Structure 1
Amino acid sequence: MRITDANRINSPAKKSAKKAGKAGDGAFSVRQEESSPKQTEATSQSQDVGGIDALLALQAVEDPTFARKKAIKRGHDLLDGLEQIKTDLLVGQISESRLNNMLNLVTKARGNLDPTLDSLIDDIELRVRVELAKFNKF
């Protein structure tokens, strides 16, 4: 925040300083509310450790919706790679890096979630393997 009027800030402080000087005996004094600082309570760390263990255990469990989205994205990536290979074939020059990328996608491990989704991804992977075998990559 930008302050444009410096007089607004300084003017109340001057007035309060004058009032304080008139009310007192001319000496500056600080009002003390408490003579000793508050003591903090000790926390129980043994209860916190159980909470952290539970959080770590929950993080280790994979969310089924996340795993499904991940499998669908993998299927789309495989299909996109097949489309790019088709385009390369039409042009007449196949990129070696694209074939290596497809080989990496096929060899990635995947989890079994939904039998229908798994069979669909199996079909896509089979097609990718056939295309890679044509170029002696699989």
Structure 2
Amino acid sequence: MRIYGPNGTTLGSPSAPTKRTSSTGFSLPDAAAPTETRPTLQPRPAASLDALMAMQGVEDPMERRKRSVARGRGALDVLDDLKLGLLMGSFNPATVARLRAAAADLKSSSGDAGLDAVLSEIELRVEVELAKAGQV
């Protein structure tokens, strides 16, 4: 099998030039006329870093809710650790530091009114335990 030309087609004779008629109908442009050349433009840089950060900062309500639930569970776990430590008779200052961190995390809103109410009750309980730990 023999292949001719760059695309695998046989080289043929060049096509005949376009014939012009004197009618006012449709006509093709002259192929020999030079085409308009435009200088190439460089790619535009991103509008600004702030715009990119804003686009990344748009969060899904479900994702925000999941993070709020995780923060609430984390606070409940720390409260549970504090309860177990007090029942065993050992007061651990590291647990109080974890409670302070959990209280700071509970301040943000989840966007769900019911979940926010539960998180505010957890936050209140954390604050009460922090107040108790400050008296000990």
- Please classify the TM superposition score into its range, dividing by the shorter chain length: 0.5 to 0.7
* Cα distance in 2 for residues equivalent to 1:96 and 1:53: 41
Matches of 1:81 and 1:107, distance apart in 2: 13
Q: What does residue 83 of structure 1 align with? A: 80
- Return the alpha-carbon distance in structure 2 between the equivalents of residues 85 and 97 of structure 1: 10
Distance 1:90 1:61, change over 3 A: same
Contact 2:85–2:91, Cα closer than 8 Å, also in 1: yes
- SS of 1:49's partner is coil
Aligned twin of 1:10: none
- Distance in 2 (CA, whole Å) between partners of 1:132 and 1:119 is 20
User: Which residue is 2:103 aligned to?
Assistant: 106
TM-score (norm 1): 0.59
Tell me the secondary structure at the aligned position of residue 59 of structure 2.
coil
User: Which residue of structure 2 lines up, in the alignment, with residue 63 of structure 1?
Assistant: 60
Q: TM-score, normalised by structure 2?
A: 0.60
Distance in 2 separating the partners of 1:90 and 1:122 = 25
Length, aligned pairs only = 96
Alpha-carbon distance between aligned partners in 1 of 2:99 and 2:72, rounded to the nearest angstrom: 12
CA distance in 1, matches of 2:124, 2:132: 13
Choose the corresponding residue for 1:126, options 103, 124, 127: 124
**What is the match of residue 20 of structure 2?**
none
For structure 2, list consecutive stretches of 5 or more residues without a partner in the other structure. 1-38
Distance 1:75 1:121 in 2: 6
2:68 touches 2:110 (CA, 8 Å); kept in 1?
A: no
CA distance in 1 between partners of 2:50 and 2:84 (Å): 51
- Measured on the aligned residues, the alpha-carbon RMSD in Å equals 2.5
In structure 1, how many angstroms separate the alpha carbons of the residues matched to 2:51 and 2:42?
17
Alignment-derived partner of residue 13 in structure 1? none
CA positional deviation for 1:67: 0.9
Give CA-to-partner distance per residue, 1:71-111, whole Å, 9 cap, x none.
00000001101110110011101110111111121023412
**Is 75-84 or 99-108 further displaced after alignment?**
99-108
Aligned to 2:69: 72
Instruction: Tell me by how many angstroms 1:129 deviates.
Output: 1.2
Q: Which of the pair is proportionally richer in helix?
A: 1
| Deviations 1:13-58 (CA, angstroms, capped at 9, x unpaired) | xxxxxxxxxxxxxxxxxxxxxxxxxxxx956413x635x8865432
Q: Extract unaligned runs of 5+ from structure 1.
A: 1-40
